[in-house]
Structure 1
Amino acid sequence: MYPVNLILDDKPCVVIGGGHVALRKVEGLLEAKAKVTVISPMLVNELTNMVQNNLIIWKEKYYETGDLDGFELAICAVGEENASKQIWADAHKARILINVVDKLPLCDFALPAKIRRGDLLVTFSTNGKSPALSRYLRCRMEKEFDDTYALWLDRLSILRNEAIAKLPTSNDREIFWRSALSDEVMLLVQQKKYDEAEGAIKNAINSFRPQS
């Protein structure tokens, strides 16, 4: 398994299936700002509400070959083996990334359990071997990852741009961040002393001397 985070902003994605499993997959895609279409003859109430609120597009039908045309990513949540295999085969023929729920051999990617706080995304994966363990680990860590780090991330992105402007090479910047984002600075962040943490980073940027 090679870990990546797909950038799906405004990308057309499709979920085949209209049940509660499909609902969870749709919610995840919407969090990633994808444009979501659902193919299913029926929908659970939550998905129906999303259609009525123009959050997703609904094709009220059973899946047919050709329905994947125009999409960049597909999730199959129909739960019927023959249909799942056909959808998987169609996706591979069209070179579309696909995840078939609970059928790892038919997946191009696995969907990890996740904690999302603004732009901060923390994931837990077991390589598809035990989604239940991934969910358990996520639940254990949710209290650790409140909005503290997400708020710091917003400031850190601005500081990163300042570092890019003042430090000439990627090697310099890598060396800088390894030392600047220290335990002492992160302790200030954990205490929500963002101004002090930001000041420490700015001082470090101004005093950094590139490697000769």
Structure 2
Amino acid sequence: MRYFPIFLDLNNKPVLVVGGGEVACRKIDMLLRAGAKVTVVSPKVHPHLQHLAEEQTLLWVKSFYQSDMLVDYIQVWATTDNPELNHRVHDDAKKKNIMVNVVDDKPYCDFITPSMINRGRIQIAVSSGGASPVLIRYLREKLESILPQNLAMLADFGASKRNSIKQELATVDERRKFWERFFSSSQISTVDERSELESLYQDVLNNKELVTGSLTWVEFGQDVEMLSIKSLRLMQESELVLYPENCPFEFVDLCRRDADREQYDDVNQLASLIKQAKADKQRVCVFIEKDSTSMELKLLIGNEVVIKVAQ
């Protein structure tokens, strides 16, 4: 992984953009949507930027860039069609430890911008590290076609219930499992009114379930793409992931990101970990090698269901 994915809070933060052409327009529009206080330095700007300046949406400094302009900014963008000027902006920013992006010039970028999908509070970023923009555009189109348009409403509804749900359900685990039941409801994808969400919320809340643990066994092979949809769903619900040393990382990496992950060395250690997890009422995913014939493992599994992974 070349780049560390991160979402920056630019709300009311000063950002400098050197250059005022079409490239600058695209970057500035995104910066303004994030709430940044944008200053543009350029003797001429695109009509769109001039309009924004007249509306006082951004500050336009109508002059050529000078090194002493680089004061108190947390981020700098060099967007001109002059590589020499862009590199000078980069050097000035580095001297002052300011993060800088020289557009379409990766060696001079501290960060790059991904392709974005926006659904209100929901943002999905996709990047190839600049390696294949066409592939990323293809992936974005695929994601846009399958993501429901009501995601923004769902996110707003969830945010509005953050305090009230704490009064109804005492523990983090209870609240997590409630939201999992709520968002996995078959009605969610077709809801387009907040009143419908409120009704569903009350229905799920009144149909409370005890906080219980679960144990899911998933056989792994060499091809992670052969995992079933059910396997992936249960892996994403698990709070603890147990795996042997020879389990390919691709399988473990598909599990819930905030789950505890622990490698086990033998059956006895695995039995001890499972015993403790059951006592803690955790949802556990255990990876075992495909076609395992170990008698000890069979005794440990007992009547539990193993999800088969066809290879």
Aligned mates of 2:23, 2:185 — CA distance in 1: 38
Cα shift readout 1:45-88 (whole Å, capped 9, x = no counterpart): 11111111111100111211122211111111113221111111
SS at 1:181 equivalent: helix
Match of residue 46 from structure 2 = 44
Is the 2:114–2:126 contact (alpha carbons within 8 Å) kept by the matching residues of 1?
A: yes
* TM-score for the superposition, normalised by structure 1: 0.85
Q: Single out whichever of 123-132 and 135-144 deviates more from structure 2.
A: 135-144
Q: 1:180·1:201 contact (CA, 8 Å) conserved in 2?
A: no
Distance 2:47 2:32 in 1: 17
C-alpha RMSD of the superposition: 2.6
Structure 1: tracts of 5 or more residues without a match: none
Could you tell me the TM-score, scaled by structure 2's length? 0.60
The residue type paired with residue 201 of structure 2 is: E
Going from structure 1 to structure 2, the CA distance change for 1:146 and 1:209 (only over 3 Å counts) comes to: closer
Equivalent in the alignment of 1:188: 187
Larger radius of gyration: 2
Letter in 1 for 2:198: D
Offset of 1:208 from its aligned partner? 5.3
Say whether the 8 Å CA contact 1:185–1:200 is kept in structure 2: no
Offset of residue 203 of structure 1:
4.1
Give, as a single letter, the amino acid of the residue that structure 2 aligns with 1:181.
E
Q: For 1:13 and 1:154, locate their aligned partners in 2 and report how far apart those are by CA, in whole Å.
A: 28
Q: What is the match of residue 202 of structure 1?
A: 205
Counterpart CA distance in 2 for 1:186 and 1:102 is 44
1:144-163 → structure 2 map (5 Å cutoff): 144-163=146-165
Bigger shift: residues 191-200 or 14-23: 191-200
Q: What is the rounded CA distance, in whole Å, between the counterparts of 2:210 and 2:11 in structure 1?
A: 36
Q: CA 1:87–1:150 in structure 2 vs 1: closer, same or farther (change >3 Å)?
A: same
Q: Number of paired residues?
A: 208
For residue 68 of structure 2, give the secondary structure of its aligned residue in structure 1.
coil
Q: Which runs of 5+ in 2 are unaligned?
A: 213-279, 282-311
Q: For 2:28 and 2:188, locate their aligned partners in 1 and report how far apart those are by CA, in whole Å.
A: 33
Q: Distance in 1 between matches of 2:112 and 2:62?
A: 27
1:42 Cα offset (Å)? 0.8
2:11 to 6, 9, 12: 9
Q: Is the 8 A contact 2:20 2:49 kept in 1?
A: yes
Q: Distance in 2 between matches of 1:107 and 1:165?
A: 47
Aligned-partner Cα distance in 1 for 2:97–2:22: 27
**What amino acid maps onto 1:45 in structure 2?**
P
Which residue does the alignment assign to 2:122? 120
Q: Which moved more, 1:129-138 or 1:159-168?
A: 159-168
Separation of aligned partners in 2, 1:184 and 1:118: 17
- 3-state SS of paired residue (1:98): strand
SS in structure 2 of the partner of residue 66 of structure 1: helix
Code of the residue aligned with 1:191 in structure 2: it is T
After the TM superposition, which residues 1-212 of structure 1 pair with which residues of structure 2 at under 5 Å, given as runs? 1-164=3-166, 172-173=171-172, 176-177=175-176, 180-182=179-181, 185-192=184-191, 193-203=196-206, 207=209, 209=211
Kindly state the Cα deviation for residue 90 of structure 1 after the two structures are TM-superposed. Answer: 1.2
Please state how far the C-alpha of 1:141 moved relative to its aligned partner: 2.7
SS in 1 for 2:76: strand
